[in-house]
Structure 1
């Protein structure tokens, strides 16, 4: 016999056999779908638990005392801004003008000028 005819017969036999053997990939597809659904459910459950824990932790948090608010507002002024404040003060600008230009409050500008000895 000819080799192409033998290969053709083998191909036909394999094609016919594949219809009778069945498709095992559908089993794997079903298993994969079940695992995917369970993973989604677990992730959703963990997300709900995490939100509950976050809410429980936030229940005990009250307003911050006023002293800690003042500490948070009193951040150190950068040296470049301090030099700008001193320069503007020496040029005769008012405290409010300096505060506007330096993006600080008037009290912060006064504190900087007092700390550098520019005003008493």
Structure 2
């Protein structure tokens, strides 16, 4: 026999043998598709969770963290505003602990974060309607917070 006929017979045998073996590439493609779908679903789930947290915390969607290289004046302003908020929280806690004999309204106590947010928005000159839209509080609750200076 000639060499060309031997090579042709070997080639035919390999083609026939390849038909009996499973195609692993289709299985790999299916696994890859499943993985990409799972990643897409988890990404969407995380985006929904982040959006929910932003809505709960009333953070603007385009919120950006400021660089840590603040000037000395900005650092002092930030520390001063932090100390004001801390003093308001302490006053609210003190007032809440020592006002057990005063009758409370039927509503739950307002979170100190919301109180400081209402005061900050009021300081920015926003109206009670605008503050009410940005928070979950009613007009009466906002007026009470502003009138008491944050002390509940």
TM-score normalized by the length of structure 2 = 0.39
Higher Cα radius of gyration: 1
TM-score normalized by the length of structure 1 = 0.48
Greater relative contact order: 1 or 2 (C-alpha under 8 angstroms, separation 6 or more)? Answer: 2
